[in-house]
């Protein structure tokens, strides 16, 4: 098959389809399984042997693909990014690929963006435009994608942003199904990050998105075992879900409580460890809380989605009074959680903090963000991997939820707050 060139000024509408070729002997060697392989569909074609090369002003990102794939390119600004959309692939790439700036690539991320769709997001160090070239290799047994970035003027880049057809935004996250006719209070667990957004990378290359998903599953099982609640998760696999969709899910389903679960890093201070419970507020309780909220709020941007502040609209409709009332419930739960958890596991200094987290902005659902620990701490990273610690901590959190929900459970209420 002849090479296919994508004209760099006609993005979006162009898709290139490669000839199908099944995996045969002599195919490029698969890289060691990436840590995110735990939930990627095994049926999806594999992408391996990723490489970034810089020469004579150009930067080339190459990936070997096992089968034919149509792809779409888009150019985005603020920050300047190149986004490549493709059907779901199983990225088996070295975990450090695209982590450090190289040539025109400041960072590159690979992962599932929406059900059935994967994405590569390249953040640029300066204005540059891409050419995608796909060529059969090994007699057609595999295909090599070369994405060549060429530096251009800031004006030319802006023109390309304007001309770039918008990619489907992937905001159609499926609403989890909840049993009808069941009036038990609904708890929404929100494992942070996912898919193309890895979250933090910790000691031993542990990815936050994997660690928090495993923990959320444990906690869900624990809560379901009480028989008191319906429990849903905003994601139960390695897929990206926008911050707005997470909030909307909790609201649409009428959640009694929303718990976002994270495990971030503080690379400058690897000795800092322990859990922290965050509540939403316009003003951050301290500089560290503000830094963390800022980092967490970048999730949509990392995934190549334009930021929008949809939660502000919702707040406007429901009014400040609802928000204030909800926040007092969030504070009450945060205090209960800190109290219960402090008995069994190490707490961070000032374990109850607050900041402007976008995921905590549902004005009508009590919400907290729980940082289980720091993946930058060797002790915390090991603790999070330990099933016994997870089991015990999930029990403690379930006990805190029982305490918080007790008035409501006693009243046998439907969807009202406790
Ligand atoms: Zn996080």
pLDDT tens-place values along the chain, 418 residues long: 334 333 333 333 333 322 222 233 333 433 333 333 344 556 788 899 999 999 989 999 999 998 878 888 989 888 899 999 888 898 999 888 998 999 999 999 998 888 788 899 999 999 999 999 888 888 888 899 999 999 999 999 999 988 887 776 655 556 777 777 888 999 999 999 999 899 998 888 889 999 999 999 999 999 999 999 999 999 998 989 989 899 999 999 999 999 999 999 887 788 888 999 999 998 999 999 999 998 888 888 888 776 555 545 555 555 677 788 899 999 999 999 999 999 878 888 899 999 999 999 888 999 999 999 999 899 999 999 999 999 999 999 999 999 999 988 887 754 434 4
- C-alpha 372 – ligand 1 centre gap (Å): 10
- C-alpha 212 – ligand 1 centre gap (Å): 9
- C-alpha 48 – ligand 1 centre gap (Å): 27
What CATH class has 186-411? alpha beta
What tens digit of pLDDT does each residue of 327-363 get? 999 999 999 999 999 987 888 889 999 999 999 988 8
Closest Cα partner for 75 from 130, 5, 133, 120? 130
Closest Cα partner for 241 from 315, 279, 166, 191? 191
- C-alpha 290 – ligand 1 centre gap (Å): 13
User: 3-class DSSP state for residue 288?
Assistant: helix
Residue 111, beta-bridge partner list: 119
Give the model's pLDDT for residue 194. 93
Give the DSSP H/E element, type plus range, for residue 51: strand 46-55
Angle (nearest 5°) at CA 129 between 124 and 134: 105
- C-alpha 313 – ligand 1 centre gap (Å): 24
Give the model's pLDDT for residue 117. 86
What CATH class has 9-163? mainly beta
- C-alpha 263 – ligand 1 centre gap (Å): 6
* Domain extents in the chain: 9-163, 186-411
- C-alpha 252 – ligand 1 centre gap (Å): 23
pTM, entire model: 0.78
Backbone angles phi, psi at 250, to 5 degrees: -60, -40
- C-alpha 2 – ligand 1 centre gap (Å): 44
- C-alpha 264 – ligand 1 centre gap (Å): 5
- C-alpha 36 – ligand 1 centre gap (Å): 16
- C-alpha 262 – ligand 1 centre gap (Å): 4
Give the model's pLDDT for residue 149. 95
- C-alpha 193 – ligand 1 centre gap (Å): 6
- C-alpha 418 – ligand 1 centre gap (Å): 28
**In the 8-state DSSP scheme, what is residue 280?**
E
- 245-261 as b/e: b if 16+ CB within 10 A: bbbbbbbebebbbbbbb
- C-alpha 412 – ligand 1 centre gap (Å): 35
- C-alpha 296 – ligand 1 centre gap (Å): 6
- C-alpha 347 – ligand 1 centre gap (Å): 17
- C-alpha 159 – ligand 1 centre gap (Å): 34
- C-alpha 100 – ligand 1 centre gap (Å): 20
- C-alpha 134 – ligand 1 centre gap (Å): 35
Give the model's pLDDT for residue 318. 57
């Amino acid at each position: 098959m002849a090479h296919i060139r994508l004209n760099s000024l006609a993005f979006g509408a162009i898709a290139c389809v490669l000839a199908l070729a099944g995996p045969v002997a002599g195919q490029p060697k698969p890289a060691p399984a990436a840590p995110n392989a735990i939930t990627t569909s095994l049926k999806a074609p594999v992408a391996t042997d990723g490489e970034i090369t810089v020469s004579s002003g150009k930067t080339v990102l190459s990936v070997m693909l096992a089968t034919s794939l149509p792809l779409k390119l888009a150019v985005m600004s603020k920050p300047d990014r190149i986004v490549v959309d493709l059907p779901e692939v199983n990225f088996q790439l070295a975990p450090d690929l695209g982590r450090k700036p190289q040539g025109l690539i400041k960072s590159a991320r690979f992962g599932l963006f929406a059900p059935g769709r994967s994405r590569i997001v390249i953040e640029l160090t300066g204005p540059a435009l891409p050419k995608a070239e796909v060529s059969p290799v090994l007699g057609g047994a595999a295909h090599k994608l070369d994405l060549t970035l060429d530096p251009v003027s800031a004006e030319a880049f802006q023109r390309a942003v304007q001309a770039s057809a918008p990619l489907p935004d992937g905001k159609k996250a499926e609403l989890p199904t909840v049993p009808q006719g069941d009036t038990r209070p609904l708890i929404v667990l929100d494992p942070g990050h996912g898919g193309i957004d890895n979250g933090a990378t910790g000691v031993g290359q542990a990815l936050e998105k994997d660690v928090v998903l495993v923990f959320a599953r444990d906690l869900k099982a624990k809560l379901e075992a009480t028989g008191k609640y319906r429990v849903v998760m905003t994601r139960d696999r390695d897929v990206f879900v926008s911050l707005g969709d997470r909030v909307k899910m909790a609201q649409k389903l009428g959640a009694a409580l929303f718990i976002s679960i994270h495990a971030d890093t503080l690379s400058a201070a690897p000795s800092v460890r322990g859990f922290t419970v965050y509540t939403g507020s316009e003003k951050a309780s301290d500089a560290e809380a503000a830094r963390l909220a800022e980092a967490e709020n970048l999730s949509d941007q990392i995934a190549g989605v334009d930021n929008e502040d949809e939660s502000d609209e919702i707040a406007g409709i429901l009014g400040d009074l609802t928000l204030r009332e909800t926040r007092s419930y969030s504070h009450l739960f945060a205090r209960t959680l800190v109290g219960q958890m402090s008995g069994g596991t190490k707490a961070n200094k000032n374990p109850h903090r607050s900041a402007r987290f976008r995921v905590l902005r549902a004005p009508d659902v009590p919400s907290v963000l729980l940082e289980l620990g720091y993946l930058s701490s060797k002790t915390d990273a090991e603790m999070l991997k330990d099933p016994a610690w997870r089991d015990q901590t999930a029990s403690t959190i379930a006990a805190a939820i029982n305490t918080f929900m007790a008035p409501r459970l006693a009243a046998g209420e439907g969807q009202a707050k406790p």
